[in-house]
């Protein structure tokens, strides 16, 4: 169901490219925004972290990454964005509220109590995105007050997702890993 809707959104964005007013930046997502005539103030209210090429001088590759980064780091904003009346008015396939994200991307396993470190796999964009998602997960699990202060989001989870159990499982896994590592060191000595 979500896959079909996402394809519909992408097709709608593609169709809107020809209708949108081009202000010198030809990215489909930005042209959808421009075609909707949503005000900057309203856009900032709906999606305060949306990558705005009026504010940052992006090339196309950077903007693609900025959009992907925003969709994953601020998935609740992305959902509000996709459902904003100004934008849905341009989508002939929109049939009602779209629940894009059940579980945020930052819900992921952590391997340590330590703050995550930036990894270098050779893909700078992916490394930076994964680092930011790891940081969100780390703050969410170990420093929830700072999480809300830094990211300005209060995630709403589906009824079946137990946040407390998730956090407990993370701590349990870290403790098990620490015990196994200590046991291996003792066996080697």
Q: What are phi and psi of 97, to 5 degrees?
A: -50, 135
Confidence check: pLDDT of 3 > 80? no
Q: What is the largest CA-CA distance in the chain?
A: 71
Average pLDDT over residues 95-104: 79
State pLDDT tens for residues 134-177: 999 999 999 999 998 998 878 878 787 888 998 998 898 889 88
Identify the band that residue 21 occupies on the pLDDT scale cut at 50, 70 and 90: very low
Question: Is the four-CA dihedral 48, 71, 158, 8 of positive or negative sign?
Answer: positive
Report domain extents, the chain.
1-101, 102-189
Q: Is the pTM of this model over 0.75?
A: no
Spatial contact of 147 and 136, defined as CB atoms under 8 Å apart: yes
Quickly count helices (H) and strands (E) in the chain.
9, 0
Six token digits for residue 109: 């396993």
């Amino acid at each position: 169901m979500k896959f079909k809707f996402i394809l519909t959104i992408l097709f709608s964005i593609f169709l809107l490219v020809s209708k949108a007013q081009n202000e010198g930046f030809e990215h489909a997502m930005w042209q959808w925004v421009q075609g909707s005539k949503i005000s900057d103030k309203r856009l900032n209210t709906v999606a305060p972290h949306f990558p705005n090429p009026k504010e940052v001088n992006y090339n196309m590759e950077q903007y693609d990454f900025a959009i992907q980064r925003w969709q994953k780091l601020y998935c609740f904003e992305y959902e509000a964005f996709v459902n904003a009346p100004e934008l849905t008015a341009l989508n002939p396939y929109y049939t009602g509220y779209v629940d894009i994200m059940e579980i945020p991307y930052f819900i992921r396993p952590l391997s340590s109590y330590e703050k995550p470190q930036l990894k270098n796999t050779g893909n700078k964009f992916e490394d930076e995105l994964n680092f930011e998602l790891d940081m969100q997960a780390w703050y969410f699990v170990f420093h929830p007050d700072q999480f809300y202060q830094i990211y300005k989001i209060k995630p709403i989870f589906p009824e079946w997702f137990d946040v407390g159990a998730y956090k407990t499982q993370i701590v349990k896994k870290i403790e098990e890993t620490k015990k196994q590592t200590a046991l291996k060191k003792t066996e080697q000595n």
